[in-house]
Structure formats: C-alpha cells, structure tokens
Structure 1
Amino acid sequence: MAPSAITPPAAEKLTDKAKFTVDSFDGATAQADDLVASIIRNGGVIIRNMLTAAELAQLEEDVRPHLEADVAWDGDFFPKETRRVCGLVGKSRAFTERVCLHELYKGICDALLSSRFEYWVGQEKHVSVSKPQINSTTVLSIRPGARAQELHRDDMIHHNRFDEITADEYKPGRDTAIGIFVAGKKTTKANGATRFVPGSHLQKQDAPPVEEDAVHAELDPGDGLIMLASCYHGGSANTTEDEERLVYGAFVTKGVLRQEENQYLAVPLETIKSYPTETQEFLGYGVSAPFLGWLELQSPLSVLFGKKIMNDLY
C-alpha cells in the first residue's frame, strides 16, 4: 500500500502481555461458546484438525489450477512471490461447505456479528435479526523468498472506529468482521506463518501495531486460525528454500453492511456501462478505500469496463 503522509502516534506495547495468548482447541470436541469466550479475551483462537486430509486434498485439487495461472501482484501489499485466488465460492464447493460454513466458524460469527434490532412502525413494535454474510474469500500461496507482510487490521475497509477497552468490556458488535485461515500445508515461522498480535482488538483504533507483540500462528495441515478483524496480523517472510505456505482464508461480516436495494441485479450491466465513471462509482461499482468492493483484487470498473482509476484500491 502507498505510504501514509500522516505521522502515526507513538506505538505503545500491550500492557500485561502475559494475560494474552492464543488458545488451542480440538476441532472434534470444541464448543462454540468456549471459542467465543477465548476470542473475546485474546482476539483469536486456533482450532486443531478442522479439516481432514481428504478434505484438504479436494480443496487443493479445486484451486491449484487457478493458483498456477496467477501472476505476481502489481504493488507492495503482497510480496511478488505470493500467488492468490479469490472468489473461491465459485471455484470450490468443498471450500464453501467446509471452510465458510464450518459449524464452529459459523457459530462464532453468528454469536459476534449477528445484529438484533427493535423498531417501531406506527404503534407496532418489531424485532429483526440480521445474520452475518460472506465478505471475502481467498487462497494464498506464499513461496520461498517472499518478504513479510506489514501488520494490519482487516476492518480498516469498514473505517471501524473504537476506543481502548478491556476484555470484560467487549460487546458483540464492536467488530465488523471475523476471519478464518485454514492451513493447506504445514505453516511455520520459517515458511511464512501468520503473525498475530493477541489482545490488539482491545487497543484503540488509531494505535499502530507493535511488531514485538506478535506471535506466529504455526499450524498443521487442517488446523485453523479464527480471528477478529480488529486484530493486527500479517503474513511472515518465507525464508525456506523449497516450502510453500498454503492457506485458505475467508472473512464474514455483518449482514447490515450492504446496500438496501441490490443495484447489481436491479440494473442491467449495459445500462451501468452507459453511465459516466462518477455515476458508476456512486451506484457501487467503485471501491471504497481501502479495499472495499474489489473484484479479483481490482476495481470492478477495471474488470468490467477496462477503466483504470489511480490508487482505486486504497
């Protein structure tokens, strides 16, 4: 991403680091309530053996041709040695059913992202519940020589603003999204395991990350890391000579974060094409910086109409 012209505030290390950790649970026996409590306390949790070897084999069979067809990223958010494939719901039913809809992941998202809202229509009181929705899907192949990705929060796309709190003060709804990363191959510190800052979800929104607070989420094949989008994290450098870090990822977000009328289905694409760029952006075909609304990690205006908007992702 482009460097900011604003000088960030001085970084402060998390206090009492010992109280933050990344708990591990067995996927066969874990209960959603225990996972939710661990995530509220630490910001993320590791679930061992979420997927079987057969399920991982099916995932790789589905996505490997797409990975090998990818090219190096034009920019600095991803290392040039990284290959990525998006839109996985349309490429792998196994990914949809066993990652996006995994019962433990879905239970966590339902508990922390669902919104119950009471309102009046005339003299009649109504109650509505908005359930979470898929936000993004991707598989990342980090290959030897890849540099470390900068620590970042994925809720930056929603301009999520919050103050510093304690875990006891955390309430569902503070976060806009929850992510999952499932290891397709063994991930280690050496080959690029995700760096994750436990407790960073409790820091204020404008506090910068502290690299020294990060831990490496090392996973065996089939293990998963589930984390709040307000947690600082980033891929690490792959310092090996011949190991690929293969991780399947998804984010789920609040169901209320969408347009009321679905413009993409309500208006024919040919009609959208006839409008000027400014109108196309207003109708939802642009990108809300940073990174919200992309298609194949590009602006829809570029993919659909061949337009190139400078710095359109961020």
Structure 2
Amino acid sequence: MSALAACHAAALASYGWCTLDAALDPDLVVALKSDLEQRFAETPLCQGAFYGEHTKRFGSLLTRSPVAEQLVMHPLVLELAEKVLSPWCDRIALNLTQAIEIHPGALPQLPHRDQDMWQGPKGSIEYLVNVMWPLTTYTPENGGTRLWSGSHLNQDVATFSENDALVPSVGPGDALVFLGSTLHGGGGNVSKLPRRGIVVSYCLGWLKPFELQWLVYPPQVARTFSPELAALVGYAQHRPNLGNVEGQCPSILLRDDVPDFLPAIDALRPDQTEAADLFVRSQMGEMG
C-alpha cells in the first residue's frame, strides 16, 4: 500500500471511517453538479420511512455523467476498498452509485449498518466500503451523514445514543469513507436548502450488489467502459467460476462478435487448480 492509503486504512480500522480531503478536482465537481442538475430536478421524492419522504435518490450514475467514472475509479479509494475487502474475496465489485438530495424538513434517517442487507455472519468479515462525495458541504443542520465512531467494533449493539453521533465536516471535492459495519444514517435537514451528495460503494465480488449492475449497465453500455471499469461493474468472473456466461468470463459479451457456441473454461484459484490437476494425474495413473 502507499503510505497515504496505509494511514487512511489505519483510521478505518480504528474508527470505522475517515475523510479524504481535496480528493477530487473542484472543476470536476462543478461539471458533475451540472450533469446531474436536471435529474435532481425531475426525480420524484422517495417513498418509505427508510429512504425518506423528503429525500430524492437516483442511481446509474455512470450513464448520467462522465465524471462519475472518476469517482468510481479513484485510485486512492480503490486502494482502500481493496485493502479492506480483499481478505474475503478474489476481486471487489461496484455495489452502487447513487445521488442523494435531502430536502428541508427531512427527519434523521434510521441508524443502520449497510452490511445488514446481506444475512451472513457479522463481526468477522467486512462486506462493503462506502464513499460519500458531497456536492454541498455537509453540516449537522442540513442533513450531513451521522456516524457512530467505533461502532464497527461493537456490532452486537443495534443502536447508540444520538448524543454519540458525529457529522464529519466534508465539502465538495472531499470524500467521506466508512465501513459497511459502521452505524450511520442521513441527518435531518433543519436548514432552508437541500443537501446533495453522491454515494459510491464497493462490496465483496461474490455478493449480489445493492444496485443490479448487469441490468443498469447492460453489454451495449458496458462495452463503452474501460476494461477495468467493466470488470468492476460485473463483467469479470469471481473465482471459482462464479458469474460466468456459458462457462466463460462475462466480458465476452462486450465483444462485437459473440460466438453461438463456446467451450466452458476453468476459472479456479491456484490452490483449486493444483488440487484438480493432482486429482486428474492420480486418476490417469490408476488407469495407466
């Protein structure tokens, strides 16, 4: 890891969150705001107590603005996500991109851990890493994200006192990174203006993502992506053989000429390849 990434990874391990100051060029933030302005204006308010009925949300940001790719593929963010998640997966995957606008009058969101969308064991594995990219400065008054520092270390505790919550001070160009095991929630907006931000999250590559990437970015869209971005949204196998198409890497769907007939090809971890080869050699020896 780079020294900078190692420093932030240590903060994530200790507190469950960290901030990346001035991580994005201000001109890119301006361009992103402009690209999303009409979508914010035309998107209806959410329905339901969790999403918030004074809040707007929309996804598929890689098709909404070319700037979104620079958020998703930010080198330091990817380095952090891979550091946190790689012990439990062969490759990480994009979980979602979502724009959020919290309007005046919005109530605080239910405190929650995003990892709880998956019903696997908790406390021994990290499932995802969240990154908030503010489009307006986050404050306690306008609905800035509330975090419970250290809550990832006490995952058996469902909720903590609101008095223990903090709202990190981040503005356009900064990034707020926190673990899927960190208790958090959007804040209530008692100001006179909406609070806007972008959340990008990354999960273990063998999980079903929150935003179904293969439908959001079908092959005709994904073939315009770089190979690295296409792989992150799901056009890559997770060893062993998970997420294949006719026994091959789904990136084959991004070709102009996809054959009608394909041979299935192993995509195993090295230890599995060695075990399979050893077994085949033993069987051939017995037959010989």
| TM-score higher than 0.5 | yes
Residue pair 1:162, 1:174 contacting (<8 A) in 2 also: yes
User: For residue 230 of structure 1, what is the aligned residue in structure 2?
Assistant: 181
Q: Which residue, out of 74, 78, 94, partners 1:102? A: 74
Aligned identity (percent) is: 25
Over aligned residues, Cα RMSD in angstroms? 2.4
- Partners of 1:244 and 1:30 lie apart in 2 by 37
Residue pair 1:160, 1:176 contacting (<8 A) in 2 also: no
Structure possessing the higher radius of gyration over alpha carbons: 2
Alignment of 1:88-237 (within 5 A): 88-97=61-70, 99-115=71-87, 130-163=90-123, 174-205=125-156, 207-237=158-188
User: For residue 203 of structure 2, what is the aligned residue in structure 1?
Assistant: 253
Q: Could you list the runs of 5+ residues in structure 1 that have no partner in the other structure? A: 1-28, 117-128, 164-172, 266-314
Amino acid at match of 1:133: A
Residue pair 1:152, 1:209 contacting (<8 A) in 2 also: no
More helix by share: 2
- Partners of 2:139 and 2:3 lie apart in 1 by 24
- Partners of 2:244 and 2:164 lie apart in 1 by 42
1:246-282 CA distances to partner (integer Å, 9 max, x unpaired)?
111111001122592458x8xxxxxxxxxxxxxxxxx
Residue pair 1:161, 1:205 contacting (<8 A) in 2 also: no
Aligned length: 215
Give the drift of 1:206.
Answer: 5.5
1:78 aligns with 2:78: no
1:92-131 CA distances to partner (integer Å, 9 max, x unpaired)?
221122x111111111011111147xxxxxxxxxxxx712
1:40-96 CA distances to partner (integer Å, 9 max, x unpaired)?
011000111111221111111222211111112121112222111111122222112
Q: Which residue, out of 8, 25, 31, partners 1:52? A: 25
Give the drift of 1:176.
Answer: 0.4
Change (3 A) 1:223 1:192: same
Q: Residue 216 of structure 1 aligns to a residue in which SS? A: coil
Q: Residue 77 of structure 1 aligns to a residue in which SS? A: coil
1:197-238 CA distances to partner (integer Å, 9 max, x unpaired)?
010111134533332221112212211110000000011111
Give the drift of 1:158.
Answer: 1.4
TM-score (normalizing by structure 1): 0.64
Amino acid at match of 2:97: T
Q: Residue 136 of structure 1 aligns to a residue in which SS? A: strand
Q: Residue 33 of structure 1 aligns to a residue in which SS? A: helix
- Partners of 1:261 and 1:101 lie apart in 2 by 22
User: For residue 287 of structure 1, what is the aligned residue in structure 2?
Assistant: none
Residue pair 2:103, 2:194 contacting (<8 A) in 1 also: yes
Alignment of 1:292-311 (within 5 A): none
- Partners of 2:109 and 2:24 lie apart in 1 by 26
TM-score (normalizing by structure 2): 0.69
- Partners of 1:30 and 1:186 lie apart in 2 by 28
User: For residue 194 of structure 2, what is the aligned residue in structure 1?
Assistant: 244
Residue pair 2:111, 2:159 contacting (<8 A) in 1 also: no
- Partners of 2:168 and 2:79 lie apart in 1 by 22
